Amino acid sequence: MKIGVIGLGRMGGNIVRRLMRAGHSCVVYDANPAPGQALAKDGAVAATSLGDLVKALGESERTVWVMLPAGKITEDTIGQLAGMMKAGDTIIDGGNTMFKDDVRRARELKPKGIHYLDIGTSGGVWGLQRGYCLMIGGDTETVTRLDPIFSALAPGLGTIERTEDRGKLDSKLDPRAERGYIHAGPAGAGHFVKMIHNGIEYGMMQAFAEGFDIMKNRASEKLPADERFDLNLADIAEVWRRGSVVTSWLLDLTASALAKDGQLEHFSGHVDDSGEGRWTIEAAIEEAVPADVLAASLFVRFRSRQQHTFAEKVLSAMRLGFGGHIESKDKK
């Protein structure tokens, strides 16, 4: 299939590469021409403007994937595309947009006959090799038509053990879920599920961070001498990866960071939040659902910008590992 991709940063560029590896044709555009030129050497068509990209896609059932930071830049780009595209075309937002914006956009584009999909995309800087977990919102017909795109980006069955008896008791279960992507529901559902995913991620990361902080401080001179333990955190992270119930990719990233620098001295502990954690808590409030752990993990990130602990360094190390997130400079 032929698809346009706008935004060639940490994830956008690798999405293009993975699609081309699967035989799809890509027309690409970024405000910075360098990544587009690099992808052109691999076989992509590098457009010089949004209009140029839309034109290069042909005349019918054009599909454009927008992979830009949530907010004004994505809003403006989709608005411009809407003025250039026509009935039967599809606009995809694969960033981390607030799901209510997706609901509004789909409603606004419907009279023009332009399809709109919101795709929560997880995989970070490792997506090219590992594949991307996709949570898709939009109409069934468009999702089905573009399935070859999603199938190419998703991880596939891989080596993960299959869930026992999945599908035997409930025939309504989506077989695509085992391959790393689902049609979550109508417009907005994809980014809603991804939002909750990221909220949970905050809580899981915080649990690891606090646990390693407690172990690090077991060597404190404030404790009785015979109750002090000088623990090797890199070894503990590694042994937990081997058969422990807390085994996870986040633990893998923690183990990797500690193996390189046991004190994480290259991290300040300043931890940003990218929006989804806040939106998750807002959704919990709207639904009157208690979310104690997720709320606390968000507030810890706020505090990290005022004072830092080893726990925040662990958080920073995980964020760098899965998403390439560089610590912001302290603002004091």
Which pair of structure tokens corresponds to residue 207? 């649990």
- Which residues share a beta bridge with 66? 6, 93
Query: How many other CB atoms are found less than 10 A from the CB of residue 266?
Result: 13
86 is catalytic: no
Of 201, 276, 312, 327, catalytic: 201
312 is catalytic: no
Of 61, 108, 194, 260, catalytic: 194
Query: Residue 331: is it exposed, middle or buried by C-beta count within 10 angstroms (0-12/13-18/19+)?
Result: exposed
Buried b (16+ CB within 10 A) or exposed e, 38-54: ebeeeebbbbeebeebb
33 and 52 in contact (C-beta within 8 Å)?
no
Three-state DSSP string of 37-101: HHHHHCCCEECCCHHHHHHHCCCCCCEEEECCCCCHHHHHHHHHHHHHCCCCCEEEECCCCCHHH
Query: Helix, strand, or coil here: 275?
Result: coil
Gap between the terminal Cα atoms of the chain: 50
Active site residues: 194, 201
